[in-house]
Amino acid sequence: MSSLSSLLDERSIIVCVGAGGVGKTTTAAALALEAAQHGRRVCVVTIDPARRLSDAMGFDPDRAIGNEPQQIDLAVPGELWAVMLDTTTTFDALIRTYALSDEQAHTILTNAFYRNIADSMSGAHEYMAMEKLYELHNDDRFDLVVVDTPPTSNAIDFLEAPDRITQFLDHRLYKILVTPSGGLARVVNFAAQGFLRTVARIVSASVVDDAVDFFASFDGMEEGFRGRAVAVHNLLIAADTAFVLVTVPRNDTVQDAADFIGTLATADIGVDAIVVNRVHPTFGSHRLEGLSDGPLGPFIRALHDSQAVAAGQDVILESLTADLPAGAVVKIPFLDTDVHDLDGLASLSQWLTPTEDVSHN
C-alpha cells in the first residue's frame, strides 16, 4: 500500500468507491485536480448519472459534462478532463466496433429490442461504464483516469460487469437464440418455442420477434465482447490500478465500507488508500478536570465534548484503517462551505496530499 500522493503520481487508474452521500464525487474530482497539479494528464469520469461532477466543478446547467472528454481550462502543470457516462452512446459505439459489417451494425442499432435494452437493461449501465474506463485508459491523451463509481451496492455491479457479460454469452438460452436455423438447431429452437409463446402472451409477438431478431443479428460478435470483457477484468486487477475508499466516520457507513473491502478481497483487489470526509477536529489532549466550574466553564465543557466526539470517531475508524500505513489514510475535516466550484476543489485537494511536516489532525 502507498500514500495517496504516490498513487496520484504512479498509477494509471484510480477507482473511487464508497457509500452514497460520503463525498465520493467531490473527492474524485479533487484527486484528479491534484494529479493535474502534479503535472499529469488526467481524465475524471463519473459513472453516477446524477450531475454531481458538473456541480462540483461549478459548471452551469447549459455546460453539462458529456460522454466525450471535455478539457477544463486551468492554469496547472498538467491537464484536467472530465466525462460523464452516457450508456446509450457508449453501447452504440461498442456495437459498431464489434459488428462484422456496417449492415450488421445498422440492423442491431435500429432493432426495437436493442433500443430498449440500451436505455434500460439491468447491468447495461455498469458494463458500459467498464467499456468507457477501458476506452479512456487506452486514450493517448491521458496518463491517469480517475473513476467516480456509484454507491457501493451499484459499484459491486460495476466491478462484476465483465464477468457477467461472459456468463451471459455462455448461457444456454443465448446460444439457442443465436444458433442459425437448420438441423439440430431447429430441434433446439423448437424446445424454446413454448417459452417464447408464453412470453408473447404477456407482452406481444412483435416484442418477441424483435428480441429473437436482435440475438440472431448478434451472431458472430461474441468473441469481440468476450475478449473485451476479459481485458477489462484484467485492467481492474492490474498493479497499475488503485482503489480509494471514501467514507465518513459513522458506524453505518464504516460498516458498509468494511463489507465492501471484504467484497473486493474476494476478487483479489485491495484498498490502497482511504479518504475519511467530515472528520470532527481534535483540539489537543489538555487535561480539563476541575476547570469546568470557572468562568470559562461553558467553553471547557464544549472542548471536552468535542474531544469525546473526536475520540469516538477514531474508535469507529480504527478497524477500517488499522492495516493501512499512515500516509494511505487521509482525514478531511468539516469544511467551511460546500465544494461547488474549482476553487473549492483546489482547497480540498490540499487536504488530500498534506506535506509530511504539516498535520491536519
Give domain limits for the chain. Answer: 11-86+144-157+240-352
CA angle, 248 then 251 then 256, to 5°: 75
pLDDT exceeds cutoff 60 at 158 = yes
Hey, what's the cell of 257? 465500507
pLDDT bin (cut points 50, 70, 90) of residue 61 is low
43: which strand partners? 81, 145
- Residue 52: what pLDDT? 65
- Chain-centroid distance of CA 112 in Å reads 29
SS3 304: helix
pLDDT tens, 288-330?
A: 555 555 666 666 666 666 666 666 677 777 777 776 766 688 8
State the Cα–Cα distance between residues 346 and 169, nearest whole angstrom: 45
Element housing 126 (H / E):
helix 124-137
- Residue 34: what pLDDT? 94
Please choose, from the candidates 334, 322, 314, the residue with its C-alpha nearest in 3D space to the C-alpha of residue 271: 322
pLDDT bin (cut points 50, 70, 90) of residue 185 is very low
- Residue 206: what pLDDT? 56
β 70-72/79-84 pair status: antiparallel
- Residue 203: what pLDDT? 45
pLDDT exceeds cutoff 60 at 49 = no
Q: Which residue has the cell 476553487?
A: 343
pLDDT exceeds cutoff 50 at 360 = no
Among 82-86, 143-147, 218-222, the minimum mean pLDDT is found in 218-222
Q: Which residue has the higher pLDDT, 332 or 337?
A: 332
pLDDT tens, 7-40?
A: 999 999 999 988 888 888 899 999 999 999 999 9
326 DSSP 8-state letter: G
Mean pLDDT of the chain: 76
CATH 3.40.50.300 fits 11-86+144-157+240-352, yes or no: yes
Hey, what's the cell of 161? 460487469
269 Cβ neighbours under 8 A, 6+ residues apart: 159, 236, 237, 243
pLDDT tens, 195-245?
A: 445 544 544 455 556 666 777 777 777 777 778 888 888 898 899 999 999
For the chain, how far is it from start to end, CA to CA, in angstroms? 21
- Residue 342: what pLDDT? 81
Q: Give this prediction's pTM.
A: 0.76
Span 325-350, average pLDDT: 79
